[in-house]
Structure 1
Amino acid sequence: MEQFDVTNADLERGNEREDEAFFRITVSELVPLTKHRTLRDLEALGGVTQLARRLRVDLQRGIDPESVVARQQYFGANLLKYAPPPSFLRLVFAAWNDVTLVLLTGAALISLVLGLALPSERTRYGYLDGCAILVVVVLVVCLDATIALQRERRFRSLNAVKDAFPVRILRGGEVRLVDAPGVLVGDLIKLSAGDKVPADGILLQGTDFACDESTLTGESVPVSKTGAFDRPAAAAAAAAASNAAKTTATIQLHADGDDVSPAPPSVHEEADIFVLSGTIVTSGFGTMLTVAVGMNSVWGQLLTSLRPTPPQTPLQVRLNRLARSIGYIGLGLAFLVFGVLFIRWLVDSIRSGSWPIMKLTESITAAIAIAVVAIPEGLPLAVVLSLAFAMRQMMKENILVRRLEACETMGSATQLNIDKTGTMTWNQLRVTEAALPAGSLSDLLQRRTISPIYLRLLASCIAINSQADLRDQQNGTVEYIGNRTECALLELLHRMGISYRELRAASSLRRVYLFNSTRKQMCSIEQLAPDGRLERLHVKGAPDQLLERCVLEMNCRTGALTRMSWSKRNAYRSAMEAFAEQGLRMLLVAFWDQQQPAETGNLPGVNEPPETELILLGIFGMSDPLRPDTAASVRALQQAGVFVRMVTGDSVQTATQIAQAAELLEPGSSPVQLVWDAAAFRQLPRAVQQNVSMRMRVLARATPADKLELVQLFRALEQVVAVTGDGSNDAPALREADIGFGMGVSGTELAKEAADVVLLDDRLGSIVAAVLWGRNVLENIRKFLQFQLTVNIVAVTLDLFSACAGMTLPLSTVPLLWVNVVMDSFGALALATEAPRSALMQQPPQGRNAPLITPAMVRNMLGIALYQLAVMITLLFVTVPLFHIPCYAVSTSSDPCGGQTLQRNGFIFNTFVFLQLVSELNSRRIAERHVFEGIGRARLFLCIVFGSAVIQVVLVEVLGRTAVGQSVGIVNLSGAQWGAGLLIAGLELPIGFLTRLCPVSWVHQPGRLWQALCHQLMQRNLRRYQAGTNYRLGDAPMGNEPQSAAAPADSGFAQITAALPTISNAQDDAHGGSSGSSRMGTSAATSVQLKDRCAQSRRRFRVFCHAAVALQRMDLCACTRESARIQQAIYGQSSLWSESSKRNLRSRLWAVVGMLRLLRVSVPSPYEAERTALTSELLGAQLKMNPVALHSKQS
């Protein structure tokens, strides 16, 4: 093979002449390679060998590190440039493009024009009102645009973090780990299953190599790739597989291991050798030559046409829906206020004979301002701020949130399935024990008593049958690159003074069977004879599966082969049990020499490793110590109501020992029903699995498929499931779970791409922090929601009352807009960015569909709003006599007592603002009583509250002394007025404390009265329904039948269960069933009448149920699930019903149970264990027969 020795002298000469002459190829020639992806373009450049020569790449050692700067300057850096964010001006227009703000701007412009055009208004500074409104509108719009710009920048900074993933490259003859932006054109990249491709390139060699290109093509089927330097046999195998994903593939390497063959490549015409950036390697491993980076790559060119925008989370959607509902109410109240003001203006104009247009304009602006205040536009802003704040703070705790909705869901997690390695342990494996034939680990390390033959075979088996690498550090330690288990074995060779790189270079691999979770072994076939007739099988894997195949063992002292006797096999099993009790991970290393039949050539025709007999070399135990914070993290999660479960591939003994050390299991406790072997768990029926899984603490010998099955099991039980994963096979479980935690250190890029959250330090303690922050997001949103709705209620009600009472509005347009700024922007910034409290981890999970407005919030809002309204309405009448405000005229009003009204409204406005600032303080806690808890740590909250207070003082005392302030309703106050206002605002603190002392159950009293009314209506309709379906002349009325012993006497359950057999019998008669009484005593005419009566009664009852459910906004799908419980209870009491009766029951019982659920009547079931197993089947049958229920589910 031709060598390219790029020296410093070459670089100096290259810098003196043109870079193009130095590299002998341009970017424009490289881009079409991966853009068109045709072999014709590659052949036009002379093939792979000539392309490497022109790129100055040594295909054995990679690029020279000294050429990094020159390559980056000439070919460009591997940096992705997303479409630029919208400009500030565009965001300003987007924020201003709101109906209420547009109407308010138009009204302000009309007021400004009239104030300037009419002489009477100009002398009274009437134009100042319009100017002030425009200034406030500009302030609000600019503030919203600034926050939106910050959100865009944070979203793009998150993309930059996502793009900086680690990549293994061969540079200067050494495997290095660099971030993706450090990849250059010409780099040789080592790719394996789970890696994300950082740039475009050509696959030089690969084994079972396939990529997921769905991000570029939309096709979910992985695309197989063939290395350009693969031999014709490998090319033929790739063509025979029709470009489909394979579990294994054959590669032909040069005699020096990882180095590719120097012979010119013979690439099959249909082979796909191009690997594209942004794709994920789904299987295999290989080496890629980089030809395009950054914006010259396929992924970079795609990004230029995309403008990524932050997606809306489910919480944002719910809050937007809530904001629209409240906004409709606010608009209705605004129209009501305008209607009252318009009637007053019309009556006054008729009486006076003049038609002051300016008064009408003021009424319009006041109504629009009320609409602006009433519409809670701050709710979406609060979500954005809370999520952005949480994401930024979690990043400081090594938690990278990839999907915004994960911030909301993390706090609702009820089940957490975690891995052992890396999450509970350090994932720094080191061989500490070994069971060798006639030796120990200490003998192996000393090497004096070890046979050279045994030593060479063991070292070859470890070095060749591995894809990992080690890198020497300056402090004398080694860095693990690749699989940690393989690295531990390589580190053992390092301690023994053996170079695994030399062993790899001297070997000739024929085939590699990669490790998977099914066969739990990795196998490499080495060619020993030049004719290819003799080969050696190197195997390593799980001892419990490979030990039975070992028929011989090699004595480590003599190198002799001896038969594996029954006693020796038991001795190895005892050693394995001892290793398991110590919590060690075990790996068996073995080999087997065999003759390759001549007719098979160099390409075995099987996709699984041969199940041959083996020669045992040893069983190695690797320790992975438990992290010191694991036990504390498990306790914290369990106290928070999260059920922690360990899912591991280790043996039951090893898993039990680790679980006890981590306090998942109590020390000395019996693992019965708490620790399960995955093979035994798979054999259980589905219903039993659901019961067992809710108690199971450890699932040992589990595969990624078991982890996925466990996630689906809990989701069927309506649990919020979180799962951790680091391997490529964990990706399905990570996607299926409600919250997928990927490992940032040990995880593959495929696992990180599938995860919602990436733990950058792999610690279980980071999951505790993530749950805490997830709960804090929801609590902060509720705090702001409680604060804003309180302000809305008071402000709108106060102006509505003033308008109806014929008084001047105390909160005019500009004061209302200032209040809107205080409660929307400043309030959201203060309440939505509070740090989490440790008390949140003492509360149970809220659930995925927890209500946004809780009864405690309703209680707090009612208490504070009633106090504020009582104070504000009282001040409307007592302010003037209380402060002895005289009647005097002001230049800004035509009213002879305009100064008196101005003073009253100014005092009310100032008091109202300080009441809201104190309400903001009260809103820091919802259920807790002490609002000052942790106030010293909430620096941003204190700054915003005190800053708002200072701005208010400046507005009143500075702006209030000018004509501008007086024209917009702001006036300076006396000392007595300041003292009274602050005293009234301060009294809100004890009022809030007393409100939180009130029991939450008081909030339910109106609902209970409504339920009692509905209960009476239901009983009456039930009697009608029973009368319409009871056709037996000798039967007593349904209401007099004995009640079920399983239900309370007043539950109504007995009446329904008693009615159901009669209903089914009636339907059997109507449909020609097998009821004996029907055949003997019912005529055809009676059957027809009976059908009519049943149908009429069912229609009446269904109409009533539908109306009641609609009034209560009941979820009909919940009713169908509950009906499954009743049906199972009934089926347990009677098995004599016909199939037609059961089908008809399934189509009607959902309405009956819907009423029971609506009225909160208990429906006991003696078959709780089987309830969940029947739910999906019965629900499916009911949805097919009930379009209403089906429509509800779809909605």
Structure 2
Amino acid sequence: MLNSNGLTNKEVNESRNKYGSNSIDGKNKCTFISLFIETLGDPIIKILLIALFIKVIFLFKDFDYFETIGIVVAILVASLISAVSEYGSNKAFQRMQEESSKINIKVKRNGNITEIPIDDIVVGDIVLLSSGDKVPADITIISGKLSVDESSLNGETKEAYKEKVNDINKPMDINKIYRGTTIYDGAASGVVTKVGMDTLYGKMAKSLVEKEEDSPLKIRLTNLAKIISRIGYVAATMIAISYLFSKIFILNNFNFAIISNISFNTFIGYLLEALTLAVSVLVMSVPEGLPMMITLVLSTNSKKMLKDNVLVRKMVGIETAGSLNILFTDKTGTITKGKMEVVKVLLGNLNEYNSKLELSDTYQRLLEDSLIYNNESEYDKSSGNVIGGNITDKALLRFASKYKDDEIKIIDRVLFNSKNKYSTSIIEKDNKKIKLIKGAPDKVLKYASNYLDENGKVKILDKDRLNNYINNETNNGLRAIALSISESIYPVDSIRRNILVGIIFIKDEIREEAVDSVKLIKNAGINIVMVTGDSLSTGVSIAKEVGIIDNEGDASITSNELNKLSNEEVKKLIPRLRVVARALPEDKKRLVTLAKELNLVTGMTGDGVNDSIALKKADVSFAMGSGTEVAKEASDIVITDDNILSISKAILYGRTIFKNIRKFIIFQLTINLAATSLALIGPFIGVPSPITVIQMLWINMVMDTLAGLAFSYEVPKKEYMMEVPKKRDESIINRYMLNEIVVSSIYLLGVSILFLKLPIIGNMFVNKEHFMTAFFTLFIFLAVNNLFNTRTHRLNIFNHILENKPFIFIVIFIILIQGFIVYSGINIFGTTIINIKELIIIFLISISIIPVDFIRKCILKKLRGNIGV
């Protein structure tokens, strides 16, 4: 038999031992081994395998065993590094996903109502559910009514209505609700029948693999990588042909008598060298790490974002946040502290009371009943904390400061929703039924003609005087809630013929950081529209105080006024719209839709069930940490502290990610273009293959994996919030980037050719082996110095560099590895030990790229006034 007090601690342990825990296992997770095997299919690995195949097949002449071994090692190392990087990124993002799925559930245990983590639920628990909750297990309803969204299980978009079964003629599953579904409306309690992998959701979990679609930015990066790769394949083919042309025709002075006598073995040797050169170019030109840069940047910043209360559910959200043009935001808890406090009670005769203790016993009991039994919050008797419900309900319950009386029963109720803006509850007390009403004053007072005075006597209500008083208080930022009663019990959702009990005034202080946060967002070129359920006077008062309204041309409007405007009129209004009061969910959806039609990148905050439609419609959606699970599920980003400051940080992170990706592209394409051009021109100037395949692999690792890591740790900078938002369809590569890529790659190419061809430089080195080792080292050092140029658009290349310590460590690591390659004596890279004099020459030539880029930045700044990406 079911115990209405819930399970005891002993029964909880027994149930868990018998039926298991409520955790869901079996979700497909990528292991390190699977990722390592998967990397063998990467383009760069395929190219290396081709190079290895070429080396092994042509076993003749000067077959280079060292380089062959080097390629094998390179395949393993490249696969290992790629797998480690992706595994780390996946784990970081997985941690964020797990953080976003943490849910606390309201249950009855040991006779008390308390909140516990979803995984702690056991069979037999009595669970209390209401609008916006996610169903934590398979449950049988024992009281109440619900409308449930079961689309996550069966694909049906129509709401399913659930209630306790009293009629044997009703379908038996009408009282069954299942894990993974969400409560759209209503309130109920139920007993848990199945948990964890035994639930319907659990049985489906192994086959349900949630695969997030690639974000628009990742698709654009993938397409860019494909374009660059195609160019690389064309360039590799041209380089192979030009090398053969040089060997066969140019070196033989187009003497066809000599050309016709070239032996088959010699031709095959030339062909092998040409193919090897082509492979070297492909190793450099295929940007396999480009699409993964988003995940890399996100994973390196994941801990910092969580610390800043920004929990990313979908990568597309944080990317898009950097391009926001307009932000539709809530007021309560976002701009204000969300710590509501009842400051006074006003009666219909305009008498004020700052404490319920000042009221008569009769009136005090009625006030307490109105606050306690028409409320979605509960007292957790074990901790004394108020749990469940929204912050308004919590404030009202704290003011009542009293536990529920088991003798008073709730017969029926209608929960508050943003459309009706009121809630009702029918209670039975002392064998008498009464309806309690709570809601917005303009809704409740519309049907009230009388009020109760301090002594409980019914008197005629002067609505005009009362409304004037309410307006004055809301103009000062207070929030008003009307309480009334009615003896007309049914229908339960009717508020007609009600008698006013009183007006509760609540104060919600503005966050100290709200003014600066609003200023920061506005300086970033983003319009802020405060969409609130409060009255227009309250909304305007708060908006002025925080700086959302700071211009005479700024517009404020109510939901009713908004609905009277055509879509074209609203579009004209949006650029100067600042406050929408008494807002409905449909208003949010309409505003987002029309703003998008104006080609504005839209952001929307939300916390309620009805916000989910607008959240899904927005380009980037922010759910509040204190909001419903429905809102969180519909969102891209969860703001765990509900703070507008954290929203501004999310925007900054979005911009930082885009900036860091662009820096990586500049660096990679610069090295790419220079190396490919050198390989193409080389055969015609007598330097067919200055860098070997294995050396190319190390250069590729520097410009791809290591550079990606270095740039991914670049910290968010406040200066990014002084720039205008990027356009929705803005190209990844802009003219400033092209300028840097072209100038730097031309300089890199020029230095390389001069180094290879000028006798004065060649004579500085002991022999050819020293000379070619020096050139390989020079190319690495040029790339390292160019890392400093690329990481900042400022003239001072060391600006903020200490804030990115991994960048410094990576630069040191590259230099140390290059030193090991040259001075270890291992011949895999085809190098030899060079002396200190030769090393100094290389270093001095390599740092010349820094002043050259400094001059480029100065010229660009003078001509265009901007040198950034």
User: Any idea what SS the aligned residue of 1:909 has?
Assistant: helix
CA contact (8 A) 1:226 1:271 kept: no
Equivalent residue runs for 1:716-865 within 5 Å: 716-745=597-626, 747-865=627-745
CA contact (8 A) 1:918 1:986 kept: yes
Alpha-carbon separation, structure 2, partners of 1:150 and 1:492: 49
Bigger mean CA offset, 436-445 vs 791-800: 436-445
Among the aligned pairs, what percent are the same residue?
Answer: 28
Q: Specify the alignment match of 2:148 in structure 1.
A: 211
Q: What CA deviation, in whole Å up to 9, does each residue of 1:640-672 have, x standing for no partner? A: 111111111111211121112212224xx65x7
Structure 1 residue identity aligned to 2:547: E
CA drift of 1:280 comes to 0.8
- Structure number with higher relative contact order (C-alpha < 8 Å, ≥ 6 residues apart): 2
- Aligned with 2:398 (options 476, 485, 491): 491
Alpha-carbon separation, structure 1, partners of 2:173 and 2:741: 69
Alpha-carbon separation, structure 1, partners of 2:41 and 2:356: 75
Equivalent residue runs for 1:529-540 within 5 Å: 535-540=433-438
Q: Specify the alignment match of 1:410 in structure 2.
A: 321
- Aligned with 1:939 (options 796, 805, 819): 805
Q: Specify the alignment match of 2:524 in structure 1.
A: 640
Q: Specify the alignment match of 2:6 in structure 1.
A: 62
Q: Specify the alignment match of 1:1039 in structure 2.
A: none
- Aligned with 1:121 (options 59, 62, 82): 62
User: Any idea what SS the aligned residue of 1:186 has?
Assistant: coil
CA contact (8 A) 1:588 1:619 kept: yes
Equivalent residue runs for 1:67-466 within 5 Å: 67-99=11-43, 101-112=45-56, 114=58, 118=60, 121=62, 126-207=64-145, 209-228=146-165, 231-232=166-167, 268-269=170-171, 272-309=174-211, 311-345=213-247, 353=263, 355-356=265-266, 357=268, 360-437=271-348, 440=351, 442=353, 444-447=355-358, 450-466=359-375
User: Any idea what SS the aligned residue of 1:619 has?
Assistant: strand
User: Any idea what SS the aligned residue of 1:412 has?
Assistant: coil
Q: What CA deviation, in whole Å up to 9, does each residue of 1:1057-1093 have, x standing for no partner? A: xxxxxxxxxxxxxxxxxxxxxxxxxxxxxxxxxxxxx
Structure 1 residue identity aligned to 2:501: L
TM-score after normalising by structure 1: 0.69
Describe the shift of the 1:673–1:858 C-alpha distance in structure 2 as closer, same or farther (beyond 3 A): closer
CA contact (8 A) 1:468 1:482 kept: yes
Structure 1 residue identity aligned to 2:594: L
User: Any idea what SS the aligned residue of 2:436 has?
Assistant: strand
CA contact (8 A) 1:64 1:172 kept: yes
Counterpart check, 1:578 vs 2:472: yes
User: Any idea what SS the aligned residue of 1:361 has?
Assistant: helix
CA contact (8 A) 1:673 1:692 kept: no
CA drift of 1:323 comes to 0.8
Describe the shift of the 1:134–1:939 C-alpha distance in structure 2 as closer, same or farther (beyond 3 A): same
CA drift of 1:693 comes to 1.9
**Higher Cα radius of gyration:** 1
Q: Specify the alignment match of 2:414 in structure 1.
A: 513
Q: What CA deviation, in whole Å up to 9, does each residue of 1:374-397 have, x standing for no partner? A: 111121132221122233321121
Describe the shift of the 1:457–1:313 C-alpha distance in structure 2 as closer, same or farther (beyond 3 A): same
CA contact (8 A) 2:241 2:274 kept: no
User: Any idea what SS the aligned residue of 1:284 has?
Assistant: strand
Structure 1 stretches of 5 or more lacking a match? 1-52, 233-265, 597-603, 887-899, 1005-1195
CA drift of 1:1001 comes to 10
- Aligned with 1:922 (options 780, 786, 789): 789
Alpha-carbon separation, structure 2, partners of 1:716 and 1:104: 48
CA contact (8 A) 2:419 2:585 kept: no
User: Any idea what SS the aligned residue of 1:553 has?
Assistant: strand
Alpha-carbon separation, structure 2, partners of 1:710 and 1:226: 36
Q: What CA deviation, in whole Å up to 9, does each residue of 1:433-475 have, x standing for no partner? A: 221245855475334xx4433233322232222222123686x
Structure 2 stretches of 5 or more lacking a match? 253-258
CA contact (8 A) 1:790 1:865 kept: yes
CA contact (8 A) 2:137 2:196 kept: yes
CA root-mean-square deviation: 2.5
Structure 1 residue identity aligned to 2:301: A
Describe the shift of the 1:650–1:99 C-alpha distance in structure 2 as closer, same or farther (beyond 3 A): closer
Describe the shift of the 1:267–1:524 C-alpha distance in structure 2 as closer, same or farther (beyond 3 A): farther
Q: Specify the alignment match of 1:713 in structure 2.
A: 594
Q: What CA deviation, in whole Å up to 9, does each residue of 1:112-143 have, x standing for no partner? A: 4655xx4x537xxx221211122112211111
Alpha-carbon separation, structure 2, partners of 1:389 and 1:948: 20
Alpha-carbon separation, structure 1, partners of 2:136 and 2:665: 44
Structure 1 residue identity aligned to 2:804: A
CA contact (8 A) 2:421 2:439 kept: yes
CA contact (8 A) 2:105 2:116 kept: yes
Q: Specify the alignment match of 1:1079 in structure 2.
A: none
Q: What CA deviation, in whole Å up to 9, does each residue of 1:905-947 have, x standing for no partner? A: 2221110110001111111124x33221100111011111111
- Aligned with 2:839 (options 965, 974, 978): 978
CA contact (8 A) 2:622 2:635 kept: yes
Alpha-carbon separation, structure 2, partners of 1:199 and 1:420: 33
CA drift of 1:884 comes to 4.7
Structure 2 residue identity aligned to 1:71: S
Structure 2 residue identity aligned to 1:329: I
Alpha-carbon separation, structure 2, partners of 1:751 and 1:825: 37
CA contact (8 A) 2:97 2:312 kept: no
CA drift of 1:783 comes to 0.1
Q: What CA deviation, in whole Å up to 9, does each residue of 1:157-210 have, x standing for no partner? A: 233223311211111111112221122221111111111111111111222x11
Alpha-carbon separation, structure 2, partners of 1:75 and 1:271: 22
CA contact (8 A) 2:109 2:125 kept: yes
CA contact (8 A) 1:586 1:621 kept: yes
User: Any idea what SS the aligned residue of 2:17 has?
Assistant: helix
CA drift of 1:333 comes to 1.1
User: Any idea what SS the aligned residue of 1:68 has?
Assistant: helix
- Aligned with 1:481 (options 369, 382, 388): 388
- Aligned with 2:850 (options 989, 995, 999): 989
Equivalent residue runs for 1:545-560 within 5 Å: 545-556=443-454, 558-560=455-457
Bigger strand share: 2
Describe the shift of the 1:103–1:931 C-alpha distance in structure 2 as closer, same or farther (beyond 3 A): closer
Describe the shift of the 1:480–1:885 C-alpha distance in structure 2 as closer, same or farther (beyond 3 A): closer
CA drift of 1:358 comes to 5.2
User: Any idea what SS the aligned residue of 1:379 has?
Assistant: coil
Structure 1 residue identity aligned to 2:783: Q
CA drift of 1:794 comes to 0.6
Structure 2 residue identity aligned to 1:692: L
Describe the shift of the 1:346–1:870 C-alpha distance in structure 2 as closer, same or farther (beyond 3 A): closer
Tell me the matched-pair count.
Answer: 856
Equivalent residue runs for 1:568-607 within 5 Å: 568-594=462-488
Alpha-carbon separation, structure 2, partners of 1:288 and 1:71: 16
Structure 1 residue identity aligned to 2:333: G
Alpha-carbon separation, structure 1, partners of 2:451 and 2:223: 71
Alpha-carbon separation, structure 1, partners of 2:457 and 2:864: 84
- Aligned with 1:686 (options 567, 577, 594): 567
TM-score after normalising by structure 2: 0.94
User: Any idea what SS the aligned residue of 1:741 has?
Assistant: strand
CA contact (8 A) 2:362 2:456 kept: yes
User: Any idea what SS the aligned residue of 1:377 has?
Assistant: coil
Q: Specify the alignment match of 2:255 in structure 1.
A: none
